[in-house]
Amino acid sequence: MVAARALLFWALVYSYCGLCACIAGLRLLWSIGRRPGETFRWVVRENPPACLNDPSLGTHCYVRIKDSGLRFHYVAAGERGKPLMLLLHGFPEFWYSWRHQLREFKSEYRVVALDLRGYGETDAPPHKENYKLDCLIADIKDILESLGYNKCVLVGHDWGGMIAWLVAICYPEMVTKLIVVNFPHPSVFTEYILRHPSQLIKSGYYFFFQMPWFPEFMFTLNDFKVLKSLFTSQATGIGRKGCRLTAEDIEAYLYVFSQPGALTGPINHYRTIFSY
C-alpha cells in the first residue's frame, strides 16, 4: 500500500512537471512568434548598480564555514556585540531584499543579511545534493557560531522562511525570536497542499523546478522578463504605491541573476525537496 501511494505520488509529480514544461514551451513558442529577435536576448550586467555598494546599508563581509568549506557573503549593519538579527531571503532574491531592515534595526541589533548557499556572492556547490535541507539548516547554525553568537533573532522570508522554521525546530536554543514572512509551518503547509488542489496549482513552480536546465533557460528569455515580472506585475509585484521597486532596485536583481550560472544554485534549493 505504501509503495503504491509513493508510486502514485511520483507519477503525479512528474506528470505535473510535464504539464508545466508544456505550458512553458507553448509560451516560449508564442514569444518567439511575436518577437523572434528579442526572445533569446540575454544581457550579462558587468557593473553592479551603485545601490549594492551603498555604505548606509552596512559592510560587505565574508565568512568561510569549516565543515562545508563554503564561503558565505553577507552585509552587516550595527555595532558588534549587540544582539544578532539574522535575515534569510527568499527566491529569487539575495541580501539586498533586506535593505530597509538593515537601516531600520541597526541601532538595536547587529543586523546580518545573508546570501544563502548558491546565491549572489556566496559559494554555489555544483551538485543539487549539496542543497538538501539538512545542509541549509547546518549553514545557519555554523554561520551563527562563526559570527561569534550562540543565539539570534531569526527572520526569514519565503524559502528563507522555510529554513528559519527548520532551524528553530532543530536548534530552538539558538533562536530567541522567530519571524517568518510568507511561509507557513512546514507541517501545516505539507498537509494543506495535499488536501487542497488549488494550493498545489499555486505551488506548481516547485514541480517545474524539478526539471534540469529548462527553468533557468526560461528565466533568461527576453532579458529576464520573468524575473522583472515577478517584482513588477500586478499579480506578484509590490502593489502599494510608494513601495514599488525603483529602476535601480530591479537592475540590482538583474545584475546578480544575469551572471553565468547564477540561477542554478537558487533553483537547486527546490530540486531536493521531494527526496525526503
**pTM of the full structure:** 0.89
Determine the pLDDT at residue 7: 67
Q: Structural domain boundaries of the chain? A: 39-275
The residue among 167, 161, 61 whose CA lies nearest residue 114 is 61
Per-10-residue mean pLDDT, the chain, length 276: 64 67 65 58 86 98 94 98 98 97 98 98 97 97 96 98 98 98 92 82 85 92 91 79 87 96 97 82
Backbone φ and ψ for 175, nearest 5 degrees, come out as -115, 110
The residue among 259, 266, 264 whose CA lies nearest residue 52 is 259
pLDDT per residue as tens digits for the range 141-161: 999 999 999 999 999 999 999
Domain 39-275 class, CATH top level: alpha beta
Determine the pLDDT at residue 182: 94
pLDDT per residue as tens digits for the range 74-109: 999 999 999 999 999 999 999 999 999 999 999 999
- Bridge partners of 2, per DSSP, are none
Residues 264 and 124: beta-carbon distance below 8 Å:
yes
Determine the pLDDT at residue 33: 55
By the 10 Å C-beta count (0-12 exposed, 13-18 middle, 19+ buried), 154 is classed as: buried
Determine the pLDDT at residue 30: 65
Determine the pLDDT at residue 56: 97
The strand ranges marked E within 164-262 are 175-181
